[in-house]
Amino acid sequence: MICFSAAAPSTQAEQRLQRMALALRLPGCDAAGLLLAALNARPSLPSGLRAMGVSEAQFASVINGAMADHCHKNNPRLASRGECHTMLVRSM
């Protein structure tokens, strides 16, 4: 979601990723996503949705839930159904 929200005008205007990278003493914005992936791997968390038992057959239900969730409207960048599908595929 960090990579997706990076393109939001509010994220860019407020330099959110740059400030996060600075606070974490990272060389740049792209390193924030890599750091989060590394932190997830540390405690042996599943590497993706497939490792948690999610299948592509469940995507429609997941996307419907995401679209109905009030938190979706608070994200810096609203995701379309197609964009949600792309994120799910990348998260497998």
For the stretch 19-30, pLDDT in tens is 888 888 888 777
pTM for this predicted structure? 0.63
Quick one: CA torsion of 37, 73, 78, 31, rounded to 10 degrees? -20
For the cut 90, the answer to whether the pLDDT of residue 34 exceeds it is no
pLDDT digits (tens, 9 = 90+) for 36-79: 777 777 777 788 899 999 999 999 999 999 999 988 888 888 89
